[in-house]
Amino acid sequence: MDLDTLNIAGPTITTLTAPFWDAASRGRLCIQHCEECGKAVFYPRPICPHCWSRRLVWRDASGKGRLKSFSLVYKPGHAGWVPAAPYLVGLVELAEGPTMLSFILTGARAPEVGDPLLLAPTQIGGRVLPAFKIDPNQRRNTR
Ligand SMILES: [Zn+2]
């Protein structure tokens, strides 16, 4: 299945989220960091959820994470995804701390909670989105 041929709605881009989507279109994962407390923040917000500071800046994330949970989707919520079903979505705990929901590329083996993940920018429905894939060079972490 060529994911790029999917006829799906694009993201709703706002002033707040534009830096994330601009970076995504160039194959990067950019998330906010707080200059006050030093913590990473995702999803995009005007105020740090840890210390309430407004001093949030955008930085590239490492692109590394861990599969916290996942679901194999057989019945998509949008008809445009039907040709891709079943497909995998997962909660990715980024190395920087925050968790994000993402499309997970399926590989040679079945996914397991704790699997190490790597950013895998992917053409989906006419745009590059920040998907993830299982990192074949790292071991599973079951903490
Ligand atoms: Zn903060």
Q: How far is the CA of 38 from the centre of ligand 1 (A)?
A: 6
Q: How far is the CA of 43 from the centre of ligand 1 (A)?
A: 14
Q: How far is the CA of 98 from the centre of ligand 1 (A)?
A: 13
Q: How far is the CA of 65 from the centre of ligand 1 (A)?
A: 21
Could you read off the pLDDT of 40-59 as tens digits, one per residue?
999 999 999 999 999 999 99
pLDDT for the residue 108: 76
Q: How far is the CA of 99 from the centre of ligand 1 (A)?
A: 16
pLDDT for the residue 142: 63
Question: Cα-Cα-Cα-Cα dihedral of 11, 41, 73, 134, to 10°?
Answer: 110
pLDDT for the residue 107: 81
Low-confidence ranges of the chain (pLDDT < 70): 141-143
